[in-house]
Amino acid sequence: MKKYKIFLLTTILAGFATTSCQDEFLDVTPLGALSSAQLQNKNGVNLLLTGAYSMIDGVQAVSSFSDWQGSADNWIYGEVVADNAYKGSDANDQPEISLIEAYTHTPILNHFRGKWRAVYDGVARTNDVLQAIPNAADMNATEKTQAQAQARFLRGHYHFEAKKMYNMVPFIDEKTYDPANPNSTKTANDKDIWVNIVDDLKFAYDNLPARWAGEPGRVSKWAAGALLAKAYMFQGKFNDAKPVLEAIVNSGAYSLMPKYHDNFRAETNNNRESLLEVQFSINDGAPINNNGNRGATLNYPYGGGVTTCCGFYQPSQNLVNAFKTDDKGLPLLDDFNKTDIPGANSSTFTGNVDPRLDWTVGRQGVQFLDWGPHSAVYVRDLAYAGPFSPKKNVPYKGDVGKFTTANPRFNTNNYRMIRYAHVLLMLAECEVEANALDKARTIINQIRTRAANADGFVKQADGKNAGNYKIGTYDAAWTDKEVARKAVRFETRLELAMEGHRFFDLVRWGIADKTINDYLEMEQTKRTYLKGAKFVKGKHEYFPIPQNEIINSSLDGAATLKQNPNY
């Protein structure tokens, strides 16, 4: 499914298939462009389904919400709010994100409402599809089932996003949803919706094909299975997740790419490691290249000629230190943060590092893709947020004109929402919880062996390795469950760093308070704006329900939505 189709069709459907930007809770205000009757056929269902897919990037057409507030990569809510990244830029730019980073946020922040609106806009669009399908007389049973499966996957995904952000959220299905009745979706958030999410994802897993020929943007059986397994794991149901993950592995449909960075460049979009990617496009007729990864529009070097803006999403010193390895090439699970890899001229650091560091982080003196060596001019304010830059989302200079516009901030470098490495990491986690520790070790070693491929190391202009790369496998048997669990979690951090998963993993592992408070205790000595920041257990595991949504949920004089504890 091409992104340009998504944009053009959702422009047509904007008034019919999206939530309103007015002050009604999950309201949909038809503009009259297309009637529901006109959409109750095969073509109409496909139009609506394309519109439902289009919200997967999280970027809304509502001008009151910034592109990044609902971004699918969750760079704010999954990384900046954890220990992997700083907001970046300078102190005065996007101050709401600073409040989120320092755990002083409140329910009135527009960022929380922007994310809420993005996911429930997606929910509304999926319900439009599901309401249209039964009346589409020109669709056969198989076509209807596959359309339902795609829509239900997307509905499960959007509710999953809401659940991991806000915890107690309403589940809106096609029976509840009525675009003609603003009160129909004023549903209480007094029930745990995991059962509904799992039901949608399992239907998708059971009914989707393994592949869609020529349409990589459509969700497959295996992508649905991976998200289903993840939903089980968020509930601690490892025994339910494990057979689904094993089925994906045993299908033979996916494998690790030989080079780690092949997962983060436009030239290798939709490769054999990818289960689900958010499809981006440029020069497709959309205003200001609206489909060119606008959720990450702030997250590029501030200077150095790479882009025109903006210096946000800077990797933390803690994350950089996590890539240090010992004389066997293994991570320093407990002692990695005792000393810092230097920021200035960090290419001169003589200690061992995991080669994934320099595909994840731009650091001074190290080749920054094909743009030249990263330097201090890449950073907006060194004293504020340190010397490092994000790298996984940045296109190559050689991509300009082919995979990017003249301004590389707008590019076709897809966001890999689920990749095979993620499946392996989840399976390794399940094996640890099942006490199959050596199975877990073997799986983790697959990932580390790929990272050790010297053909995939970052090179300097003279052809030499950009760092003292040393990465090894775990060769001794794992016999201690706690040590094995720590190793799998550490590998998950390294492999998926800056991909939007970290905070949500810490919460589901039950270690967010200790991990983040230990991080803040050290970081506030380096980043003065974090002084006094504290993660409060029982509060900060979830973000507040947006206050405006609580107000707008009022029915018969009483709000149907209740605020999360301690906000």
Give the whole-angstrom CA distance, residue 371 versus residue 357. Answer: 17
Closest Cα partner for 98 from 113, 83, 88, 84? Answer: 88
Neighbouring C-beta atoms of residue 527, cutoff 10 Å: 21
Selection from 59, 51, 40, 43 nearest residue 1 by Cα: 51
Considering only 170-174, 339-343, 408-412, which range has the smallest mean pLDDT? 408-412
Per-residue confidence (pLDDT) for residue 345, from 0 to 100: 87
Residue identified by tokens 């994000």 is 390
Q: At what angle do helices 221-234 and 420-433 cross, to 10 degrees?
A: 40
**Which stretch of 2-11, 187-196, 357-366, 535-544 has the lowest confidence by average pLDDT?**
2-11
Nearest to 1 by CA among 163, 203, 213, 144: 213
pLDDT of residue 37: 74
Q: Are 395 and 265 in contact (CB under 8 A)?
A: yes
Nearest to 393, CA basis, from 72, 154, 99 = 72
DSSP SS3 for 69: coil
pLDDT tens for 205-224 read: 999 999 999 899 999 999 99
- In 3D space, the residue among 301, 315, 298 whose CA is nearest the CA of residue 397 turns out to be 301
User: What pLDDT, in 10s, does the model give residues 519-552?
Assistant: 999 999 999 999 999 999 999 999 999 999 999 9
Instruction: Return the pLDDT at 252.
Output: 97
Is residue 18 very low, low, confident or very high in pLDDT (cuts 50, 70, 90)? very low
For the cut 70, the answer to whether the pLDDT of residue 393 exceeds it is yes
Instruction: Give the mean pLDDT of 54-80.
Output: 93
Question: Half-sphere exposure (CA, 13 Å, Cβ side) for 362?
Answer: 34
pLDDT-based confidence at residue 355 (cuts at 50, 70, 90)? very high
The residue behind tokens 């060194």 is 382
Asked whether the bond before 309 is cis by omega within 30 degrees of 0, the reply is no
Mean pLDDT for 400-412 is 90
Q: φ and ψ at 478, to 5 degrees?
A: -90, 120
As a whole number of angstroms, the distance between CA 353 and CA 364 comes to 15
Report residue 224 CA to chain centroid gap. Answer: 16
DSSP codes, 302-328: SSTTS-SS--EEEEPHHHHHHTBB-TT
Tokens 């295996």 locate to 222
pLDDT band at 34 (very low <50, low <70, confident <90, very high): low
Of residues 480, 491, 471, 477, the one with CA closest to residue 441: 477
Tell me what the pLDDT averaged over the chain comes to: 92
Which single residue is written with the structure tokens 């496009």? Answer: 281
- What is the model's pLDDT at position 20? 29
Q: Does residue 158 carry a pLDDT above 60? A: yes
Residue 526 to residues 214, 301, 382, 522, Cα–Cα distance (Å) = 49, 21, 11, 7
Read off the pLDDT of residues 464-514 as tens digits, 9 standing for 90 and up.
999 999 999 999 999 999 999 999 999 999 999 999 999 999 999 999 999
Token pair in block for residue 203: 């239907």
- Long-range Cβ pairs for the range 250-257 (8 Å, 24+): 251/210, 251/222, 253/210, 253/211, 253/222, 254/222, 254/420, 254/423, 255/420, 256/420, 256/421, 256/424, 256/446, 256/447, 256/450, 257/450
134 CB-near residues (< 8 Å, 6+ apart) = 144
Q: What pLDDT is attached to residue 285?
A: 83
**Nearest Cα to Cα of residue 143 among 156, 161, 123, 129:** 129
Residues 6+ apart with CB under 8 A from 375: 304, 364, 365
| Residue 21, pLDDT above cutoff 70 | no
Percent of the chain with pLDDT over 70: 94
Q: Quick check: helix, strand or coil at residue 377?
A: helix
The burial class, CB within 10 Å (0-12 / 13-18 / 19+), for 523 is: buried
- pLDDT, average across residues 149-165: 98
Nearest to 499 by CA among 274, 206, 177: 274
Instruction: Please choose, from the candidates 381, 294, 376, the residue with its C-alpha nearest in 3D space to the C-alpha of residue 87.
Output: 381
Taking the alpha carbons of 210, 216, 222, 227 in that order, is the dihedral positive or negative?
negative
pLDDT of 78-90, one tens digit each? 999 999 999 999 9
More confident residue, 284 or 275: 275
pLDDT at 23: 32
